[in-house]
């Protein structure tokens, strides 16, 4: 049994200080009926809680820790930057350096604007799309999460493709009414919407590799369909690659699937663990943004020197030229991830547990499901009780996973073969426990 006595006391105190005791909902561990470990420090592929427990970490701060925690190169650069001041609210060379490096990897981005969070990036990209097109309506996909701005916190109404209704108190019906929510990977629904409302739609925003209903991959040709029909109707296509950027491949999903969006939202990795995100794309569209154009968006801490430093050093590591004959950083992560997911899949087969395994580069996920997971509906049909047993059993063995079947897991360059082997063995033990409910 895992000792979380100090964490339990810390959580009890936190509940009197913050809503639910946390500053982001999933951290509360409500889905798994477990006390969340309070983390004290992290290094490489491991994190350590205040109770003295050590874990192999596959959450990676929800994606950004692609080079591992406290990477010496990133830490050294941050220490040097902090001595020069933590924020200026003024232009720096660091902003341009990071922008150029991002653009080298993402040629679809001709002009970029740095912000502080993925929510800011997606909210701003949609505002720009509306300003550029002069249209109001947007299309999103059920199960794709684009931050907590009002127009994106919607759920689908009845029917195959419907205007959204508020998914949270505080979001007005008027705000949600311009958002059309349709099932992910459903070609019929998308074609129907574009045929009926295409001339009114400012943009279509999508996680090209969905990471917030668990990891769900686009079906063959689906992203091409989004591209062709948005172009035909004069709507902008926005790829939210906050999560899958630099993960699905070094160049993200747009590189992996050879589809060029009009705008791209990035985050996570470009901050190297600090709060950074960005949106960018076609020059004619981005030149609508103030002060170059009339669409207003600003941020006091955008381009913060510490955040730019962490992101820049992280990208330098993952974009570095490999030694002759060696795979590049992204390929190494993909190979490690494949080893892990195939190992866990084999253990599930041995235990007689139905498990769907998904991978996109260094992103991966598991669904306790007999059927292929292609959208939110099939993801939600997965066995939540099985997941809870699996999660607790893995945590007790020192494997730190996301406390929800609807979250994605991540590999880092710091994970070793020993980490992966230990994780696969732990999975075998956990899956035997899960098998008892089947």
Cβ-based burial of 193 (10 A; exposed 0-12, middle 13-18, buried ≥19): buried
Task: Please pick, among 240, 262, 375, 419, the residue that the annotation labels catalytic.
Answer: 240
C-alpha distances out from residue 95 to 87, 102, 118, 188, 277, Å? 13, 11, 17, 42, 12
- Rounded to whole angstroms, the maximal C-alpha distance in the chain is 62
Is residue 296 annotated as part of the catalytic site, yes or no?
no
Task: Please pick, among 106, 145, 279, 329, the residue that the annotation labels catalytic.
Answer: 145
Is residue 184 annotated as part of the catalytic site, yes or no?
no
Q: Which helix (H) or strand (E) holds 315?
A: helix 305-319
The residues, any chain, with a CB within 8 Å of residue 372's CB and separated by 6 or more, are 356, 378
d(CA 204, CA 234): 11
The residues, any chain, with a CB within 8 Å of residue 210's CB and separated by 6 or more, are 141, 143, 144, 184, 216, 217, 218
CA angle at 283 for the pair 281 and 284, rounded to the nearest 5°:
115
Task: Please pick, among 268, 336, 347, 388, the residue that the annotation labels catalytic.
Answer: 268
Is residue 436 annotated as part of the catalytic site, yes or no?
no
Q: Which helix (H) or strand (E) holds 356?
A: strand 356-360
Instruction: Estimate the crossing angle of helix 329-351 against helix 417-435, to 10 degrees.
Output: 30
Closest CA to 263 of 228, 298, 237: 237
Cβ-based burial of 287 (10 A; exposed 0-12, middle 13-18, buried ≥19): middle
| Rama region for 398: left / alpha / beta (φ>0; ψ in -120 to 50; rest) | left
Phi, psi torsion values for 122, nearest 5 degrees: -70, -40
Cβ-based burial of 266 (10 A; exposed 0-12, middle 13-18, buried ≥19): buried
Cβ-based burial of 301 (10 A; exposed 0-12, middle 13-18, buried ≥19): middle
The residues, any chain, with a CB within 8 Å of residue 117's CB and separated by 6 or more, are 147, 267, 275, 277
Cβ-based burial of 377 (10 A; exposed 0-12, middle 13-18, buried ≥19): middle
Active site residues: 145, 240, 268
């Amino acid at each position: 049994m895992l000792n979380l006595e100090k964490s339990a006391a810390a959580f009890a105190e936190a509940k009197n200080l913050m809503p639910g005791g946390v500053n982001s909902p999933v951290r509360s561990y409500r889905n798994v009926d477990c006390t969340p470990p309070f983390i004290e420090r992290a290094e490489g592929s491991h994190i350590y809680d205040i109770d003295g427990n050590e874990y192999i970490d596959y959450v990676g701060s929800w994606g950004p820790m692609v080079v591992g925690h406290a990477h010496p190169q990133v830490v050294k650069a941050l220490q040097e930057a902090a001595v020069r001041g933590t924020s200026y609210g003024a232009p720096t060379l660091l902003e341009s350096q990071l922008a150029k490096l991002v653009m080298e990897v993402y040629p679809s981005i001709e002009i970029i604007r740095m912000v502080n969070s993925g929510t800011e990036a997606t909210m701003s990209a949609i505002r720009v799309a509306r300003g550029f097109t002069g249209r109001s309506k947007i299309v999103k996909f059920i199960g794709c999460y684009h931050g907590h701005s009002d127009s994106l916190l919607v759920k689908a109404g009845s029917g195959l493709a419907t205007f959204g209704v508020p998914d949270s108190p505080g979001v007005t019906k008027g705000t949600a009414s311009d958002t059309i929510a349709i099932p992910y990977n459903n070609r019929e629904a998308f074609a129907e919407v574009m045929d009926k409302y295409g001339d009114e739609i400012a943009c279509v925003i999508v996680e090209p590799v969905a990471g917030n209903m668990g990891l769900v991959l686009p079906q063959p040709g689906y992203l091409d369909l989004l591209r062709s029909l948005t172009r035909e109707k004069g709507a902008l296509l926005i790829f939210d690659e906050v999560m899958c950027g630099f993960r699905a491949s070094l160049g993200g999903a747009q590189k992996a699937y050879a589809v060029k969006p009009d705008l791209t939202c990035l985050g996570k990795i470009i901050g190297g663990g600090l709060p950074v995100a960005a949106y960018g794309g076609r020059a004619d569209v981005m030149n609508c943004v103030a002060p170059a154009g009339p669409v207003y968006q600003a941020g006091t801490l955008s381009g913060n020197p510490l955040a730019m430093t962490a992101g820049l050093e992280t990208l330098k590591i993952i974009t570095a030229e490999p030694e002759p004959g060696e795979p590049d950083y992204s390929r190494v992560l993909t190979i490690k991830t494949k080893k892990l997911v195939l190992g866990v899949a084999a253990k599930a087969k041995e235990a007689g547990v139905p498990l769907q395994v998904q991978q996109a580069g260094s992103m991966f996920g598991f669904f306790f499901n007999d059927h292929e997971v292609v959208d939110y509906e099939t993801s939600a049909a997965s066995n939540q009780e099985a997941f809870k047993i699996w999660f607790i059993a893995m945590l007790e063995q020192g494997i730190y996973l996301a406390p929800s079947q609807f979250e994605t897991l991540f590999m880092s360059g710091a994970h070793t073969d020993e980490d992966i082997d230990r994780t696969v063995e732990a999975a075998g033990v956990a899956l035997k426990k899960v098998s008892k409910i089947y």
